[in-house]
Structure 1
């Protein structure tokens, strides 16, 4: 199938960081030029956010969380043609990009097909090891880890059990350190699922060099190493892996190390597809380019991202990171624009690395910004998220910026996000927190007058408006009722004024200026009076109940604000409100307390509240006391 030639056609091969970045900007630059078409070709219909593969491999986010559909990215760009196909070669003589199912003419082509893991021919890596160079490999690794932990949990043989429950990562670059950190984050939930002692799951980082994380300043790398060791990750430096087998690996010093999960992250190279284009290749198979990002073989073929090799700044080429991909793409599109305008493509590649950030799980990271700002912990992770989100701003995708925010902060499980689960939709009801705090504050504010002064409920002065307690009273809503308003209604003086007033009470669910609110019950129902007389038969008991109720109301308020035993506090709020209604001490305009209290009962104490720690602790403690500790194996001492 051969497509008709437009006046100017730019073909971008590869929807990676560089390809998507370039396509978005080219589309915007030429959006008013009907003679320019940008064709983006990729074997997948989506862009994979490659720097977050470790999050998929360690089950932090859903599998599709780092897949961004190309249609959603480019649906508003009418000058962009999307093609899902695999490119086989570039026919430079006829200026055609050939795929398995078609051919696409070009005036300029931008090649950004990325990189893949490099095992340097180490025996056994392909057969028994795992790499992390694609979405599919991340899924495969996740399924494998779950499988070996499942099998290890019921393995009786101590040696096999140790191998199955040992996870090893080789290489301490960005991918290696982020992978080991994320897998360690997964340990507790894995152990709980398969009824294991978490300490049995071991994690080891192996590095051939005498130091780890050599892309960072030593101070930042040392902080990261200390954190890993503190988390129980074994760091083995000066350790080379020379062979991988089923259940163990061979080390350079002649020893072996037991593991059924070896993850190789010790190097990358240009994707093997690069050889198909018959362009000059350099170190690690990367295609050699000049300072304008043009192939040294053809000035109409631009090569960007990890697959390009520019040795103007280092004989090792530019770092294969996102910042380098974006910089090379920007250089290429600037030069293509110049060529299309009849100018000399003389824009040189400029290395601009604003910093390096490495995460070690969902809550801790290290960062070096601008070469002088060093961050660790919460702020380093926050900066990493901000930089990731900045990419979506750069490619003009509000939709996926929102999606990133959701899956990193709101859709995570087992507290694995920067806010330690407080804002995760999986474990709490975040949006009920303001209602919880407001309801608690209302209890405290309306109890304030009850604890001191002449209105105090702690002096022996009758506040409850029940007729049998005060024979001289003319009704349950008379002068005695002036001192007996519920804490919830907050209408102490208003109750007396309302009872004495001849104005008509108005039914409403909100206060209406100049009108008297209607009580739910003006007079306590007979059945409620009969029950109440049993519990409060005389004034002495009434004095005790007044003090006790006030203390309970204050405790309810404090518990709701602190998020402690929120389910109980919410339930008691509902119960007290119902009692106040039936006692003739409550207005319709305050009935909102019941649905609000019910809403707070749905886990709101686990978001920015003490229930996040207290409830799981109590569940674990009482569950263990009552049922004992579940195990994967009973009557076996294999460890």
Structure 2
């Protein structure tokens, strides 16, 4: 009988574990992933949503999109209790049985007993938190633009971020950039708006070395962020913050990023706990109380060199790998492996254009550090969802951004209205259509006339050159860009094309006619433009094309930007195709639950 493996929580570790279990076990186990949300959140990018750089979709990955091509059963439900003796998870509506359980319930903000933080402050620990913060900030600017009270206006336009760790510094950087956009929108002088970063310790970004901290401080100052170290917050009120020593900051906005602790749900599970509300595990990532229960990510507590493993993404991924591999080893009767951390580095962005990082033992700053951060994010997304998620990430962070808030400014974000491209699309389409018709008239569809390769007994480059010369004389009487095809291209043609020369020749003619008609009709314009470029390079390499063909290449490049969506069939076809894609390729989840045993798909 197949083992039932339940992964509780679709955080970084939960997604990684479910993917690995599905890959290795296939039909040997039934794998279930349970989460209260139908999406996976990119927690490290929440500050970008809070600061208005990107929309919610940029940090939300639908579970249906990640798992529809796997055997993982995704269940959307909120677990309220776990009975470890009976091996059951309980929600308000259902009961789920398991043979192996991976707990990945994450962490939550730690308030350290500071009075008023929960009542009057904002945390940044979920997508809902990030959206709420963004709405609040916009509301503060709107209210400030209408108030006549100087004192109230100052409170509304003062934004405090508590905690100068990675999340705090990144959030402050986003707010500093968001300030400019909102000041323009609400006609407020930027000098009136204060962004204050408050840290209880005497040093920011304690994980990084002094050189990187110094660089970070320089850029924080450049963004006009007020930095206050040695300033622990002792109380938070509705309209002010009290600091140790008696200082006050009048504000209606506090974003608390001062630390995390294990999820409060863990304290209800009757498991042995480690420090800061985290569940104690052994070196195999098993709960010390139940050998079939594994604990990963922020909620797990294991000490290395007398220090608890850090609550970071790499820890979540590496503990997930160990837990999944050990469940597989247990099922297959193999030896388990112990957890040993292998951290590759840390990186913190300060706004959209600057970053400091230590990666593989090397310090990076500025453009290179920001590029590394984006590459790391895309590498992760490729692992959980492939190229489509990378494309989505690129669109969100480079093509759809506002106010040039990316490491390359707005060079990818500026859009050209597609109707300006209609004359170019029609012109290039007509040229391809005339090329195809011309080849038909010149006999390219006659099997006795072969132009794309030589048919004589002469071999080598001279043979191909003769064929090219003959073709160019028959076709357009142009001077080829290349005197003769490259040797590698000639060999390719000799081996793969020459035996089917007539078929390839017909394909060239039909290709030209098809590209022409597609561009004229505005149907699948991007694919037609790519085909146009490919065909042009093929003609150049075969020494059949003159410099005139370059016009086709450079003209096709702007047409790839959706030129068929204005006065073309793509206006109707592409939306229909996207709907079909959603249904067919992204898949749809079914979340009906089984009444007995565990659960079933309807």
Q: Scaled by the length of structure 1, what TM-score is found?
A: 0.66
- Listed one character per residue, the Cα deviations across residues 95-145 of structure 1 (whole Å, up to 9, x for unaligned) are 112222212221111000111111112111111111100001111100000
2:87 is the alignment partner of 1:95: yes
Q: Which residue of 1 aligns with 2:318?
A: 327
When residues 107 and 201 of structure 1 are mapped into structure 2, their CA distance, relative to the original with a 3 A threshold, is same
Contact 1:25 / 1:395 at 8 angstroms: preserved in 2?
no
Instruction: Give the C-alpha shift of residue 344 in structure 1.
Output: 4.1
When residues 428 and 367 of structure 1 are mapped into structure 2, their CA distance, relative to the original with a 3 A threshold, is farther
Q: Which residue of 2 aligns with 1:17?
A: 12
Question: Equivalents in 2 of 1:354, 1:131: separation in Å?
Answer: 28
SS in 1 for 2:303: coil
Instruction: Give the C-alpha shift of residue 514 in structure 1.
Output: 3.8
Q: Which residue of 2 aligns with 1:43?
A: 36
Measured on the aligned residues, the alpha-carbon RMSD in Å equals 2.6
SS in 2 for 1:298: coil
Match runs of 1:413-432 below 5 Å: 413-425=402-414
Instruction: Give the C-alpha shift of residue 26 in structure 1.
Output: 0.9
Question: Equivalents in 2 of 1:80, 1:242: separation in Å?
Answer: 47
Q: Which residue, out of 366, 387, 391, partners 2:356?
A: 366
Question: Equivalents in 1 of 2:314, 2:72: separation in Å?
Answer: 24
Question: Equivalents in 2 of 1:428, 1:290: separation in Å?
Answer: 59
Question: Equivalents in 2 of 1:228, 1:335: separation in Å?
Answer: 44
Q: Which residue of 1 aligns with 2:56?
A: 63
Choose between structure 1 and 2: higher helix proportion. Answer: 2
Contact 1:170 / 1:206 at 8 angstroms: preserved in 2?
yes
Q: Which residue, out of 197, 213, 221, partners 2:205?
A: 213
Q: Which residue of 2 aligns with 1:470?
A: none
Question: Equivalents in 1 of 2:6, 2:14: separation in Å?
Answer: 10
SS in 1 for 2:46: helix
Q: Which residue, out of 398, 408, 421, partners 2:397?
A: 408
Contact 1:149 / 1:165 at 8 angstroms: preserved in 2?
yes
Instruction: Give the C-alpha shift of residue 362 in structure 1.
Output: 0.7
- Listed one character per residue, the Cα deviations across residues 517-542 of structure 1 (whole Å, up to 9, x for unaligned) are xxxxxxxxxxxxxxxxxxxxxxxxxx
Contact 1:422 / 1:428 at 8 angstroms: preserved in 2?
no
Q: Which residue of 2 aligns with 1:241?
A: 233
Q: Which residue of 2 aligns with 1:576?
A: none
Q: Which residue of 2 aligns with 1:513?
A: 476
SS in 2 for 1:167: strand
Q: Which residue, out of 146, 155, 165, partners 2:147?
A: 155
Question: Equivalents in 2 of 1:375, 1:41: separation in Å?
Answer: 38
Question: Equivalents in 2 of 1:428, 1:326: separation in Å?
Answer: 43
Question: Equivalents in 2 of 1:340, 1:160: separation in Å?
Answer: 64
Q: Which residue of 1 aligns with 2:338?
A: 348
Unaligned runs of 5+ in 2: 425-473, 479-547, 562-602
2:264 is the alignment partner of 1:272: yes
2:309 is the alignment partner of 1:318: yes
Q: Which residue, out of 2, 16, 35, partners 1:7?
A: 2
- Listed one character per residue, the Cα deviations across residues 424-482 of structure 1 (whole Å, up to 9, x for unaligned) are 146899x99xx9xxxxxxxxxxxxxxxxxxxxxxxxxxxxxxxxxxxxxxxxxxxxxxx
Q: Which residue, out of 166, 174, 177, partners 1:174?
A: 166
Q: Which residue of 2 aligns with 1:28?
A: 23
Q: Which residue of 2 aligns with 1:54?
A: 47
Contact 1:88 / 1:276 at 8 angstroms: preserved in 2?
no
Contact 1:57 / 1:142 at 8 angstroms: preserved in 2?
yes
Question: Equivalents in 1 of 2:82, 2:274: separation in Å?
Answer: 19
- Listed one character per residue, the Cα deviations across residues 220-275 of structure 1 (whole Å, up to 9, x for unaligned) are 01100111012111100100111111221001111211111111000101111112
Q: Which residue of 2 aligns with 1:336?
A: 327
SS in 2 for 1:295: coil
Question: Equivalents in 1 of 2:122, 2:206: separation in Å?
Answer: 23
Question: Equivalents in 2 of 1:363, 1:58: separation in Å?
Answer: 14
Instruction: Give the C-alpha shift of residue 368 in structure 1.
Output: 0.5
SS in 1 for 2:227: strand
Contact 2:25 / 2:328 at 8 angstroms: preserved in 1?
no
Question: Equivalents in 1 of 2:60, 2:93: separation in Å?
Answer: 24
Question: Equivalents in 2 of 1:197, 1:208: separation in Å?
Answer: 30
Question: Equivalents in 2 of 1:90, 1:16: separation in Å?
Answer: 19
Q: Which residue of 2 aligns with 1:577?
A: none
Q: Which residue, out of 350, 353, 371, partners 1:382?
A: 371
- Listed one character per residue, the Cα deviations across residues 356-401 of structure 1 (whole Å, up to 9, x for unaligned) are 0000011000011122x11111110000000111112332533222
SS in 2 for 1:192: helix
2:300 is the alignment partner of 1:308: yes
Q: Which residue, out of 171, 186, 191, partners 2:183?
A: 191
SS in 1 for 2:254: strand
Question: Equivalents in 1 of 2:146, 2:34: separation in Å?
Answer: 47
Instruction: Give the C-alpha shift of residue 10 in structure 1.
Output: 0.7
SS in 2 for 1:116: strand
Q: Which residue, out of 253, 256, 262, partners 2:254?
A: 262
2:257 is the alignment partner of 1:229: no
SS in 1 for 2:80: strand
Instruction: Give the C-alpha shift of residue 155 in structure 1.
Output: 2.2
- Listed one character per residue, the Cα deviations across residues 536-569 of structure 1 (whole Å, up to 9, x for unaligned) are xxxxxxxxxxxxxxxxxxxxxxxxxxxxxxxxxx
Q: Which residue of 2 aligns with 1:282?
A: 274
Q: Which residue, out of 393, 405, 417, partners 2:382?
A: 393
Q: Which residue of 1 aligns with 2:534?
A: none
Q: Decide which structure has the larger Cα Rg and report it.
A: 1
Contact 2:65 / 2:385 at 8 angstroms: preserved in 1?
no
Contact 1:413 / 1:427 at 8 angstroms: preserved in 2?
no
Question: Equivalents in 2 of 1:169, 1:400: separation in Å?
Answer: 31
Contact 2:123 / 2:257 at 8 angstroms: preserved in 1?
yes
Instruction: Give the C-alpha shift of residue 312 in structure 1.
Output: 2.9
- Listed one character per residue, the Cα deviations across residues 291-348 of structure 1 (whole Å, up to 9, x for unaligned) are 1100111111000000101113333x11111001001001111111111112343x11
Instruction: Give the C-alpha shift of residue 512 in structure 1.
Output: 6.2
Question: Equivalents in 2 of 1:313, 1:428: separation in Å?
Answer: 59
Q: Scaled by the length of structure 2, what TM-score is found?
A: 0.69
